[in-house]
Chains A and B, each alone.
Chain A
Amino acid sequence: MLLKLEPRGERSKVMIYATPFIAIALTLFFGAGLFALMGHAPQTALYTFFIKPVSDVYGMSELLVKATPLILCAVGLAIGFRANVWNIGAEGQLIAGAIAGGGMALLFHDSQGLWLLPLMIVTGIAGGMAWAAIPAFLKTRFNANEILTSLMLTYVATLLLSYLVNGPYRDPDGFNFPESRIFHDAATLPILFEGSRVSISAIIALFVVLAAWMLLSRSLIGFQIRVIGMTPSAGSFAGFSAKGIIWFTLLVSGGLAGLAGISEVAGPIGQLLPVISPGYGFTAIIVAFLGRLHPVGILFAGLLMALSYIGGEAVQIDMGMPLAVTGVFQGMLLFFLLSADVLIRYRIRRVAARPVTVKARAE
């Protein structure tokens, strides 16, 4: 007996929604095996990783803190991915947003005006957009692959931030530590719950999810994005501008990553540091796919992925496991999701080892 993959006539609607859960189940299963190999009781480890961190209000609020930048970045990336625009550099655009928006906070550090925070947000978005505009220009003008350019620009942004906090942005009263001034209250996003670190950026992210949903499903530009993503020649037949869509999707994803960046430095972090993101921009790629490139799916995927960060910290602290556990879990999840996705277009059938020549007619 053999197993055989057989193409389905149409994509399976059930499997589109089922494969993320299959991937989660497989990740848990192999994760348990991994913990066992490392010499920990799998049940305890899984409990510490996935349940304990969110079993109190503070844990839940930390989940939102981590999920917000992931969701913001992933929604933007998903809009691009739908159009086959592969922006891999959300991390760099996030940093660029933090540099630009945070720069405003430092420039006006003696001002208490209500205008400062909106200015920081707008500049942050613009910073992310500007960073994403570079791959957009290179792609539309020279047909340079945006995967490479956006990824490489991430390292440029990282080094630029490092230079700034060691130089122009450094806190003059900071004993030469590579850190900026701590942003004062007028330059910090309001907190949602007393005692937590959740800022109004969580609300903004929720709004972004809804807006992106409307954009993709109801607007003409969303329709153009989907047509060009699925069948570029049909888009060209209808007269949709492929270059326009490249610009639009890169600017939107860059802007949202920039928003995530400024929300981080004007929120939970409160200042500019040499490192401001534990790889949110990269993890957002997994979030986007895990959420089926759908904004609502991304909302849930973002929460799950945020849990992997908190859970990873929890097993580090409680059980002395290495930080790499977080990355391993995230990697397994994406790997299993991409492999399970084959079930959307194919079904598994058992076939006899030898082809049967004569069979009774089924009809």
Chain B
Amino acid sequence: MTAESLLTLSQVTKRFPGCIANDHVDLDVKAGEIHALLGENGAGKSTLMKIVYGVLKPDEGEIFWQGKPVQIESPAAARRLGIGMVFQHFSLFDSLTVAENIALGLDSNPPLNRLAEEIRTIASRYSLAIDPDRHVHSLSVGERQRVEIVRCLLQDPKLLIMDEPTSVLTPQEADGLFETLRELVAEGCSVLYISHKLEEIRALCHRATILRGGKVVGFADPKASTARELAALMIGSEVGASRRGAAGNAGEPVLEITGLSFPGDQPFGIDLHDLSLTVRAGEIVGVAGVAGNGQAEFLDVLNGEALCLTADAIRINGVGVGWTGPRQRRMLGMGFVPEERLGQGAVPEMSLSENALLSSYQQKGMVSGGMISLGKAISFARDIIRTYAVRARGDMAEARSLSGGNLQKFIMGREIMQDPKLLIVAAPTWGVDAGAATAIRQALIDLRGRGAAILVISQDLDELFEITDRIAVIHHGRLSSARPTSETTIEEIGLLMGGADAAAETADVA
């Protein structure tokens, strides 16, 4: 391809206290291509994109736009140049309509009804089904993303930056997004596509720049490379799959959920309807689902942070725990790894020893007569750090000084080393680098081997297919029946995540 360069970065460097996020990075995006920026979490992709979008300023280096050097002082300046960005986390107001939300993000201020017309035009041109008059809280995550995309397209961008766009989509929704992006590119727009998902980059992108540890480590033609080759570039070493081990014979039921309903207590929260699921000793059961379909409420109820309507809706080893809090459930052998590491699973300002204490003081006998034995907490923290190869400056390091992956290893270690009979894990490897992810999955498989029952709630389908024995799908607060992972496919689960099960069941009844 000999098309001219649209955006060129030359030797861009950005330092933060304690780390170099981007180290003399070169990047070249040509007009009319989908360019992948590939790298693990923490490789510096987001920092680089924030520099391009004018959110951060580079310490060194130059940016060229259509061959001319530019200083991008602010996102507004970036938009004036013709750069649009769809962030990983949306900035939409639930209580406003689509059109009102889009109006808020525009630099010009058109009347709402004319804007609604423009939204409809753009939406139909790029097959982005959205209704400008709907309120955002009633939209699915995929629809919200379309709102963000339309917001960018209204500015007639020459370059659209997409930051991990498929992390919140079902496989089918992702395919729809790819269609839209291809149509855009056919009209001459360029796309800078940030991801660590190799398969979709191979399916979608024309060229790829690979970042590792803040440096450019290679360029690739994704269509001509295998996923394994790309992964090797991205990670820097051969990737090992976790040893699966023989799926043990599932034993006695450990966690029994029967007819669990829970009215959500948050505005725009999801109500849980009649959930039933059994997890037996020696098996890993997965719950798949697009974020915001009731996982948060389900996790709160499972941990006992929110109480059930009936005590027997949740039983651990036959004991009804629906009305008891987390501490009593832990005494029955439950371990729990919440979705948020920093701020839920760990206190950011506290040391690792104190964070080790947080959920283990009962099982590990660290408290007697109301007083804490700090020595026991310290030695437990050191055990975790050693066993799970947590990279930290020792047991006195503050939790927030650890990287996401290392903190997750620490939290997983804290729960697993209490030898739980039941472990409930949310998003075990979300945002964790590949090396740590393998270690974490292996730890779960080993724990299953020791006869524990494990429930994994995750959006990462590849992961669920790698480690689970059975898999269920949560959609709109309802849970499908769990089916053996070996007898189902990603496509089937994807359809369930999009709500196909409910439709099918209704059809059966009729």
Contact = CB atoms under 8 A, between A and B. Distances in A.
Nearest to B62: A357
Contact of B330 (A10, A239, A359): A239
Interface residues of B, number: 40
A233 B370 contact: no
Contacts of A219: 370-372
A332 B470 CA distance: 65
Interface in A8-41: 8-11
Contacts of B57: 355
Nearest to A11: B349
B325 A359 contact: no
Contacts of A357: 58, 60-62
A176 interface: no
A359 B347 contact: no
Contacts of A214: 371
B371 A220 contact: yes
A237 B361 contact: no
B337 to A, nearest CB: 10
Contacts of A358: 60
Contacts of A7: 17
Given A219-B372, A236-B305, A359-B59, A230 B350 contact: yes
Given A7-B17, A357-B60, A237 B327 contact: no
Given A221-B370, A234-B343, A239 B326 contact: yes
B371 A9 contact: no
A43 interface: no
Given A219-B372, A220-B361, A231-B344, 7 more contacts: A233-B340, A234-B347, A238-B327, A239-B305, A239-B326, A239-B328, A357-B58
15 contacts: A10-B401, A219-B370, A220-B361, A220-B367, A220-B371, A220-B372, A221-B370, A226-B350, A227-B358, A230-B348, A237-B305, A237-B326, A237-B358, A238-B359, A239-B326
B316 to A, nearest CB: 14
A231 B347 contact: yes
A6 interface: yes
A227 B401 contact: no
Contacts of B345: 234, 237
B346 interface: yes
A349 to B, nearest CB: 10
B288 to A, nearest CB: 23
A237 B401 contact: no
Contacts of B61: 357
A237 B367 contact: no
4 closest A-B pairs by CB: A239-B326, A239-B327, A231-B347, A233-B344
A223 interface: yes
Given A218-B374, A237-B326, A231 B17 contact: no
